[in-house]
A and B are shown apart, each in its own frame.
Chain A
Amino acid sequence: MIDLGNLSEMELDVLKELGNIGAGHAATSLSQLLDKEINIAVPKVRVGEIRNISKEFISDIVAGVIIALQDLEENKSGYLYIMFPEASSKQIASNLFGFEEFDEEMYESTIMEVGNILASSFCDASADFMDVILLPSPPSFAVDVPTAVIDSVVAQMAKRSNHIIIFETSLSSDSNIVIFLALLPEPSLLVDIMKVLEQL
């Protein structure tokens, strides 16, 4: 069992690289989807204590999409948490539809689908470049403050560890769209990454 509170620099770096490649590909998909140039922020990896997790996120209401990740043996690898601040999610939806007004149901499934596409490209990249297979679950969707959205996932992870790793980056365009992307890996994902590295 890997102790998340006690990771080496190298383990964190490897994780960061996985996050980087995944986020880079997610940015490319978003760029193609919206036909806009997308910038990606320098990502951060933090090992934090669960009790402080609310400090890791913005405090405004977001449309949050959560996707669980599994490996081929159905071990839980972690969770992707995609946060769309409300102004951005509305703008993404109107960009895709080409008009400003849309009903709630349509808007929600659009944001879920965008989350789904970003997660799939994240997973594709991790398989292509790192040989780490991640299978995404269908997305779950909520609109609330980021901590309230994620706390049920944190509860799941907290059964095993008091620490949580958060890989976080943001994707943004010049038209004020910002998306926050976080990866919350389970220890088994680190095991999978280490196995791949040992074979090199």
Chain B
Amino acid sequence: MNDNILFVSGRSGKAIFFTKRDVIVKSYCSVSSTCSLRDRCQSCEMVDIAKNYLTDRTPNSSIKTLDEELSVGIGEYKIGKRALLEAMGLGSCIGVILFDMSTGISGIAHILLPGASQTGETKYAETAIDKVLEDMSKQGARRSKIYSKFAGGAQVFKHMNLEILKIGSRNAISVEETLIKKKIPILAKDVGGEVGRSVMFNPVDGSMIVRYTKGGVIWL
């Protein structure tokens, strides 16, 4: 087990810190849009909590560590417990997160195509969601406690001459319909628009962190 990923929840907001040899190397913060220090994170309540923890490793109620970082490629899905889940570089693709807060088991799928696959391929929305549910249950998640969040499905083309590029909204509709059909409550979504996204999920507090490729982070 490594404890290089820290989740800090302070009075002013929440933040994820990636650390390397006890030094903060990257952060995603819920107040970054209103933060006067921008992303430089020199000093604030949350940075201080993290730095203190890195020096003495004393357990603290406002800090939690995450076991690992699981990143999915296009058409893949992954299941983890206390793992930071990630899907990077989503254009028309969708990052779908299913989670059971009672057990901490959560899963992420990077969906490429709408509909279902005849041959069990998880690049399709319905098939991917099915597989994630199945694997989560196998690992001990309770079906009735599973909730969902998803983001992606942008239309990044400003000038478009190919019909096939309009797949983002179809993906978003397919994901939403599948979740409704399976009676999985949707707690948050951030779809459409013209900008690509990266999506992360923090299983400690159940928040989905959406980072836009052209700047800006939102916590949902």
A residues contacting B by CB (< 8 A) are: 49-54, 59, 61, 66, 68, 108-109, 112, 137-156, 158-159, 162
Q: For the complex, give the distance between the alpha carbons of A47 and B73 in Å.
A: 16
**Does A147 lie within 8 Å of B162, measured CB to CB?**
no
Q: For the complex, give the distance between the alpha carbons of A172 and B110 in Å.
A: 34
**Does B73 lie within 8 Å of A53, measured CB to CB?**
yes
162-202 of chain B: CB within 8 A of chain A:
162, 164-168, 171, 195-197
For the complex, would chain B's binding face be called helix, strand, loop or mixed by DSSP majority?
loop
A-B pairs with beta carbons under 8 Å apart, 23 shown: A50-B73, A50-B75, A52-B73, A54-B88, A61-B213, A61-B214, A68-B164, A109-B159, A138-B161, A140-B159, A143-B156, A144-B91, A144-B156, A145-B196, A146-B89, A147-B89, A147-B196, A148-B90, A148-B154, A148-B196, A151-B90, A152-B167, A155-B93
**Does B91 lie within 8 Å of A150, measured CB to CB?**
yes
Query: Which partner residue on chain B sits nearest A112 by CB separation?
Result: B159
Most B C-beta atoms less than 10 A away, residue of A59, A68, A145, A149:
A145
**Does A141 lie within 8 Å of B158, measured CB to CB?**
yes
A154 contact set on B, CB distance < 8 A: 74, 112
Asked if B1 is at the interface (CB within 8 A of a chain A CB), the reply is no
**Does A144 lie within 8 Å of B74, measured CB to CB?**
no
Q: For the complex, give the distance between the alpha carbons of A159 and B60 in Å.
A: 49
Asked if B76 is at the interface (CB within 8 A of a chain A CB), the reply is yes
**Does B162 lie within 8 Å of A50, measured CB to CB?**
no
Q: For the complex, give the distance between the alpha carbons of A153 and B93 in Å.
A: 11
**Does B91 lie within 8 Å of A147, measured CB to CB?**
yes
B110 contact set on A, CB distance < 8 A: 51
B residues contacting A by CB (< 8 A) are: 72-76, 88-93, 110, 112-113, 121, 123, 154, 156-162, 164-168, 171, 195-197, 213-214
**Does B91 lie within 8 Å of A159, measured CB to CB?**
no
B74 contact set on A, CB distance < 8 A: 50-51, 53-54, 147, 151, 154, 158
A54 contact set on B, CB distance < 8 A: 73-74, 88-89
**Does B156 lie within 8 Å of A142, measured CB to CB?**
yes
Give, as a whole number of angstroms, the nearest-CB distance from A4 to chain B: 15
Q: For the complex, give the distance between the alpha carbons of A112 and B121 in Å.
A: 35
Q: For the complex, give the distance between the alpha carbons of A150 and B110 in Å.
A: 15
B171 contact set on A, CB distance < 8 A: 155
Most B C-beta atoms less than 10 A away, residue of A50, A52, A59:
A50
B89 contact set on A, CB distance < 8 A: 54, 59, 145-148, 151
